[in-house]
Amino acid sequence: MLLSDRVAIITGGAKGIGRAISLRFAEEGCSVAIADILEDRAQETATEISGKGKEAIGIKCDVTNSKQVSDMVAKVISKFGKIDILVNDAGALPSHFPAEDLPEEEWDKIVNLNLKSQFLCCKAVIPHMKEKRYGKIVNISSIGARHAVGADVHYAAAKTGVLGLTLDLAFELAPSNITVNAVLPGPIPTDFWSTPPTPQMLEGMAKSVPMQRVGTPDDIARVVLFFASELSAWVTGEHLLVSGGTPMRPNLPI
């Protein structure tokens, strides 16, 4: 198994892509801490993993709150004794505004959730990883960091910021044997979307993707597994699009 005896924190792990990552990691022998503001759903995912004979805990955590993040990391250390892997998956896009209509408080909310949260979680785990001289950090960005879709300037700015965070941390932490990489998912229908796509919308998106289908959460989980395992031992500072070739075709309805 690729993650035997490893311990991972997965933020936003209660549902969608984060849940798929949590399940995939557990299948590979990893102990999983699911940090999510949705406490009940985090516990459900942890219970499902535990039912398969793997170790998992759900922890309620607002990842935009530094105190809650610090407390969450302390709970993981207390339970498992170490942190080998951090996957920063928590994020959302609950609103769409033209730039001239975007309220300042909405900008702050989206940037905090999609960018500041990743910084806070990295900051909290780095000392523990440095002590062990080992760590894998995987930040979830978005195809929106490279491909403009309009009316989402707050989200695009945050997810582009994730790429800068990833690159600079990778350079800073490389001497400590800590790798930092980013995954940029393409169109994947989950309840992350503020308005669930209709079957007609999904069909239209699939036709626009060169591989002729939308993605699944497990498409992303498998790539995150690569960055979290020793398969990527000499890879750091990379930004990988996982999108069925989507950027090769412009003006996509995503």
Catalytic center residues: 155
H helices within the chain, ranges in order? 16-27, 39-50, 66-80, 104-111, 117-132, 153-173, 199-208, 217-228
Distance CA 31, CA 57 (A): 9
Written as six digits, the tokens of 233 are 């031992």
Q: Which of 107, 188, 118, 192 is nearest to 152 (CA)?
A: 107
Distance CA 201, CA 193 (A): 13
Per the DSSP assignment, residues forming a β-bridge with 139 are 88, 182
Work out whether the CA dihedral 156, 162, 168, 171 comes out positive or negative.
negative
Q: Which of 178, 172, 165, 58 is nearest to 125 (CA)?
A: 178
Q: How many CB atoms within 10 Å of residue 74?
A: 12
